[in-house]
Amino acid sequence: MWIHAAIIGIMFYVYSHSNKKHGVFYVGKGTGNRLYATGNRSLFWKRITRKHGYKAEIIAEFESEDDAFSKEIETIRFYRGIGQCAANFSDGGDGVRVAKRWWGDKISKSLTGKKGPRGIDSKSYKSFCQDDHLSDLYIKKGLSTVAIGKKFGVSHTTVWSRLKECGIEPRSIHKRGKAVLCTTDGKRYDSITSAARELNLYRENIRKVIYGKYKTTGNKHFKFTN
């Protein structure tokens, strides 16, 4: 059992954290109960311990902090040499961080999880729908990019990208929208957006007038028309 360092006159120690999955995955220098502390740890350390747990052990004890730093550097170097010490992002001692995370693919893959579907089974913009099927849905059946996106579980921008890739010219927003009639002056517009742009009104306000939430906007009344 760990006895507080101040009681026995030893101020510093080098400790390790390990588990069955990764061996020794972290080495540090501490004092007091630092080896058991879970605060101020890296996200990677927390991912490892949350999934696989850890065992804390004191490797060596020192009265001099410099000696503890030297031992920390030496110990990290040793465990890295055998493919462990995965959660140490510095060389120890002065705390200078290494240029990049060095741990092997095996450790990285163990934390990544299963790979998602690939190819035709995935919902990427290249494979969620075959060219002829997409053309049939969009041109012959007249479905919108939003409707097609909902059908395949992708965004409408993904559908838009696939249409362009297949050489299908997407319909403009004016062609997709319903025609709008301003009953105040009898002028017809291709869509709510077109009316809002030409009259310098808010599109949402025109929509609310059409659906009866507002009486007028800009002193004008609107309704959908064929």
Mean pLDDT within 210-217: 90
pTM, to two decimals: 0.41
- pLDDT attached to residue 103: 47
pLDDT, position 126: 55
| pLDDT for the residue 7 | 42
Common-topology check for domains 5-112 and 174-224:
no
**Model confidence at 116: pLDDT above 80:** no
Q: Which residue has the tokens 């913009």?
A: 125
Mean pLDDT (whole number) for 100-110: 52
* Rounded Cα distance, 157 and 169, in Å: 14
Q: What is the mean pLDDT of the chain?
A: 79
- Please state the domain extents for the chain: 5-112, 120-171, 174-224
Burial bucket for residue 40 (CB in 10 Å: 0-12, 13-18, 19+): exposed
Q: Tens of pLDDT along 172-188?
A: 644 456 889 999 999 99
pLDDT confidence of residue 72 = 92
Fold of the domain built from segment(s) 174-224: Arc Repressor Mutant, subunit A (1.10.10)
Whether 217 has a pLDDT exceeding 70, the answer reads yes
Cβ atoms 143, 159 nearer than 8 A: no
Query: How is the beta sheet containing 12-19 ordered, strand by strand?
Result: 23-30, 12-19, 55-62
Rounded Cα–Cα distance for residues 74 and 196 (Å): 71
Each residue's pLDDT tens digit, 60-92: 998 888 888 889 999 998 998 898 998 988 888
Q: For 20-44, write each residue's pLDDT tens digit.
A: 989 999 999 998 888 899 888 888 8
CB count in 10 Å sphere of residue 76? 24
Q: Which of 220, 213, 147 is nearest to 185 (CA)?
A: 220
pLDDT category at 190 given cuts 50, 70, 90 is confident
Higher local confidence (pLDDT), 75 or 158: 75
CATH superfamily of 5-112: GIY-YIG endonuclease (3.40.1440.10)
